[in-house]
Amino acid sequence: MHTRLLGAGDDAYDLAADTSELLANPVLGPLIRSALRLVAPELDPAEATPPLARDPLTGLPTLVPLPRLERLYFQCARALAALMRLVTSIYRAGSALPHPIQGGRCLRAICRPPCLHSS
């Protein structure tokens, strides 16, 4: 069984032409730009034009992209650990700031009782 670690879900698509190739095409490029100007002139054609995918069964270009039927493997443990370190550092930095006290109790939502700032 062949497995591989992929970076993103878009690796499951075979592209016939990416956005830059479509816009550089002497026929399709001006057609796409003029259609976008009519529909939404504020959009950048490089950002609003999707790539042209190939049908996984026939290999022909299609406007409706269909992914290849294969398993995708992602690794996200390191990213989650980095996110937890970031949240922890923000939490610790926030607890060093002055706390609002009312009626002898700390009003900060992040403080756990007993808060050192309460009297």
Bridge partner residues of 61 (DSSP): 54
Nearest residue to 101 (alpha-carbon basis) of 75, 119, 81: 119
Residue 54, classed as helix, strand or coil, is strand
pLDDT at residue number 5 = 41
- The per-residue pLDDT for range 84-107, each reduced to its tens digit, is 887 777 767 655 555 666 666 666
> Measured between alpha carbons, how far is residue 63 from residues 50, 51, 54, 66, 102 in Å?
9, 9, 9, 9, 62
Distance CA 29, CA 22 (A): 6
pTM of the model: 0.50
- The per-residue pLDDT for range 27-76, each reduced to its tens digit, is 999 999 999 999 988 999 999 988 888 988 888 988 888 888 877 776 66
